[in-house]
């Protein structure tokens, strides 16, 4: 007898029969993490924060321009937000492993609420200066340096291992869905009510997210021996460096992330202006990419690849497609399709990678170890932004895009030369066997 779609279907050869799982069951399994209360609170807190952040980027840009700051001032404000993240990320990882991650996220949200609320008040009063907005961005960047490692360790702490992949996919789906409409809504709101109200809305979402974080109720003090911040930083580095598969993949990200951000975010609009007749058709390309992000995140809810890192590398490799399409000046429909594939590939890659990391790094050092991972991918980004102008002036726009596409492809496939990387999955066979043996030992006889 075999079980098919939840019903018993006659007798067959049990050794060769493969049970079929209905889509209803798949959807129920995909939504299972939301039944875990701490994860549910974490999920909706993140959704609130993303809702505010997706519109505030537009509000901040136009706030700077509104006070006649210009492009240089906007670059200063954006740099002010990134620098504290780079400087404080490792400290944030130690803090998140030492204290309750929920409380770290709570206070990070409250600090961001205060900073953005003050900026909105200054804009409403007509007293805001560029340095005010730069200071606000710096404070929010510092808060993010503590929030990001803490949030990265919540899933592994509250969600059972068998449904963590679905938990990661739900977060990615929510984030990508907000990305689609957020910038457009932000632009409309700026036009209708002004940037101050948009930044004020972001402040309120931080406050609401803080309330949800306060109810998660995670335990503190997961680090068994507290030997000081320097020792904890050293311990995090030792753990990071001892995992060859991890730092190899971080090196991959250190190449792909700046290449993609420079090619897509910086040079993409320039390509649209030169070859697509303006922002209209480039907006269609961006919509294709965000549509791919949503489709890819939705697909990961019902598909959990066995060789997860192969999927990670393949997914990141697809990000070369739209850059190559621009370099070759392919028709707009082809460019949109390649952007969609890149978005789906990025969503698959991100979700699969999160599951791999959570299966292999102990919860008590997750935040410290992953802060090194995040830092390794962030540091090259400002360098890439500084080099893009000279590179385009020297080689031309299309040649630079082609070089970045080639760089992404090479970096994507390089880690697969290592058997240790190729064979990584989202589960650890040894741990699964130990769990099964422990469960059998506890079972009533």
pLDDT in tens, 277-334: 866 677 788 778 888 988 888 888 777 777 778 888 999 999 999 999 999 999 999 9
pLDDT of the residue at 187:
66
Q: Of 50, 81, 55, nearest to 208 (Cα)?
A: 50
pLDDT of the residue at 110:
95
pLDDT of the residue at 409:
95
CA distance 160 to 146: 24
pLDDT of the residue at 322:
95
Look up the pTM and report it: 0.68
pLDDT of the residue at 26:
59
Residues 6+ apart with CB under 8 A from 315: 296, 344, 345, 346, 347, 348, 349, 350, 352
CB burial readout 127-162, b (16+ within 10 A) else e: ebebebbbbbbbbbbbbbbbbbbbbbbbbbbbbebe
Question: Of all residues in the chain, what percent are helix, strand and coil, respectively (each to 5)?
Answer: 80, 0, 20
pLDDT of the residue at 1:
30
pLDDT of the residue at 4:
35
> Is 190:59 a contact under the CB 8 Å cutoff?
yes
CA distance 280 to 371: 38
* Neighbour-count burial of 247, counting CB atoms closer than 10 A to its CB (0-12 exposed, 13-18 middle, 19+ buried): middle
pLDDT of the residue at 22:
56
CA distance 301 to 299: 5
Spans of the chain below 50 pLDDT: 1-18, 221-225, 429-445
CB burial readout 385-397, b (16+ within 10 A) else e: beebeebbeeeeb
Rg (CA), the chain: 23
What domains are defined for the chain? 1-30 (no CATH), 36-163+182-216 (1.20.1250.20), 229-430 (1.20.1250.20)
């Amino acid at each position: 007898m075999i079980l098919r779609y939840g019903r018993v279907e006659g007798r067959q050869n049990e050794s060769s029969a493969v049970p079929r799982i209905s889509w209803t069951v798949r959807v129920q399994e995909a939504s299972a993490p939301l039944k875990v209360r701490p994860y549910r609170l974490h999920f909706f807190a993140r959704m609130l924060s993303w809702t505010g952040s997706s519109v505030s980027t537009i509000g901040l840009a136009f706030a700077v321009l509104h006070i006649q700051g210009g492009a240089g001032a906007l670059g200063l404000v954006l740099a002010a937000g990134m620098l504290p993240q780079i400087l404080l990320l490792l400290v944030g990882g130690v803090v998140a492993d030492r204290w309750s991650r929920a409380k770290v996220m709570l206070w990070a949200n409250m600090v961001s609420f205060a900073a953005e609320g003050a900026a909105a008040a200054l804009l409403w009063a007509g007293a805001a200066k560029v340095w005010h907005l730069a200071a606000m961005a710096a404070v929010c960047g510092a808060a993010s340096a503590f929030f990001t490692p803490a949030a990265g360790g919540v899933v592994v702490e509250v969600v059972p291992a068998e449904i963590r992949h679905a938990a990661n996919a739900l977060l990615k789906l929510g984030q990508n869905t907000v990305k689609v409409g957020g910038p457009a809504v932000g632009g409309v709101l700026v036009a209708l009510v002004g940037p101050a109200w948009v930044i004020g809305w972001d402040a309120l979402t931080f406050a609401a997210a803080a309330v949800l974080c306060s109810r998660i109720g995670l335990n503190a003090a997961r680090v068994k021996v507290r030997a000081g911040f320097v020792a904890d930083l050293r311990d995090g580095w030792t753990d990071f460096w001892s995992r060859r598969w991890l730092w190899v993949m971080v090196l991959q990200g250190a190449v792909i992330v700046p290449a993609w951000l420079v090619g897509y975010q910086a040079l993409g609009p320039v390509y649209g202006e030169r070859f697509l007749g303006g922002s209209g058709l480039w907006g269609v390309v961006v919509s294709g990419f965000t549509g791919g992000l949503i489709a890819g995140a939705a697909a990961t809810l019902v598909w959990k690849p066995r060789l997860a890192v192969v999927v990670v590398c393949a997914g990141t490799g697809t990000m070369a497609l739209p850059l190559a399409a621009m370099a070759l000046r392919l028709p707009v429909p082809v460019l949109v399709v390649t952007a969609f594939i890149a978005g789906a590939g990025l969503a698959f890659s991100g979700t699969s990678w999160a599951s791999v990391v959570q299966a292999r790094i102990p919860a008590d050092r997750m935040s410290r170890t992953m802060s090194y991972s995040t830092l390794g991918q962030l540091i090259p980004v400002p360098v890439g932004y500084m080099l893009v102008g000279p590179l385009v002036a020297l080689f031309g726009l299309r040649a630079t895009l082609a070089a970045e596409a080639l760089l992404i492809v090479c970096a994507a496939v390089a880690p697969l030369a290592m058997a240790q990387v190729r064979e990584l999955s989202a589960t650890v066979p040894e741990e699964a066997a130990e769990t099964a043996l422990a469960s059998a030992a506890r079972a009533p006889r």
